[in-house]
Amino acid sequence: MNQLSVEQVQSRIDHYEISLSNLFALIISLEHDIESMKVNLAENNQFDLGTAFTMIDVNRKGYILQRDFMHFFAENRVGVQEDDCYYLINRYAKEDQSRLYKQEYHLLSKDP
């Protein structure tokens, strides 16, 4: 079995710490961008959260699934990962973790 030297272990730890720091910096940056977008939308008199829900819930089910978000973002040429849409559903869904109901969707505008 090949054992690593103390220097090699420390080098790997340093690498992982840098990677983790970069990840946290990215998360903070994205959170800031999201908050800025929410403020811009809230200040836009023409934006209506209910209309946005209807645009995503194209089958008028009264709830949004992960695939509904994916379809909406793809149609609007917004590059997102499935995990991002999964996060949206799970972050705000209270009743059913696979569906975001309209009353829960409105929580997006109230999230600090």
User: What does pLDDT average to over the chain?
Assistant: 83
Predicted TM-score (pTM) of the model is 0.54
Q: How confident is the model at residue 18, as a pLDDT?
A: 92
Q: How confident is the model at residue 12, as a pLDDT?
A: 92
How far apart are alpha carbons 38 and 22 in whole angstroms?
Answer: 24
Q: How confident is the model at residue 21, as a pLDDT?
A: 93
Q: How confident is the model at residue 51, as a pLDDT?
A: 81
How far apart are alpha carbons 95 and 99 in whole angstroms?
Answer: 8
Q: What is the CATH number of domain 48-112?
A: 1.10.238.10
How far apart are alpha carbons 35 and 39 in whole angstroms?
Answer: 6
Q: Which residues of the chain have pLDDT under 50?
A: 112
